[in-house]
Amino acid sequence: MTIQEFFKKRPELLESLKRCKSEDEFSEMAEKNGIKFGNDRLNDVYNFVHSANQDSQEISDNALNAVAGGNENLSVKSLNFGDKEINLIV
């Protein structure tokens, strides 16, 4: 699924991540919510979340294109390990 689809399913997480003031705080909150970052994507996702409209849970296509380099999409792969789900952002 795309990162937009992921955050539409988890708007409360998006709002929590928007409040993070640093990449370290962002990473810690994401990890607590079962999110891992692949291929040095932490900075991309941090910028993506912070470019979202602060008054809305919607993330515009322009924000996605600006952060993801236009044609490159951030995607979320869900992995299940027993009763634990990990979401890998690649």
Please give the residue range of the domain that contains residue 65: 3-89
User: What strands, in cross-sheet order, belong to the sheet with 76-81?
Assistant: 35-37, 84-89, 76-81
20: left (phi over 0), alpha (psi -120 to 50) or beta: beta
As given in the structure block, the two tokens for residue 56 are 């809305």
- Give 35-55 pLDDT, tens digit per residue: 888 767 888 888 888 876 554
Query: In total, how many domains does the chain have?
Result: 1
Which of 7, 5, 31 has the alpha carbon at shortest distance from 18? 7
Length reported for the chain: 90
Which residues sit opposite 75 in a β-bridge?
Answer: 2
- Give 12-34 pLDDT, tens digit per residue: 999 999 999 999 999 999 999 98
| pTM reported for the whole predicted model | 0.66
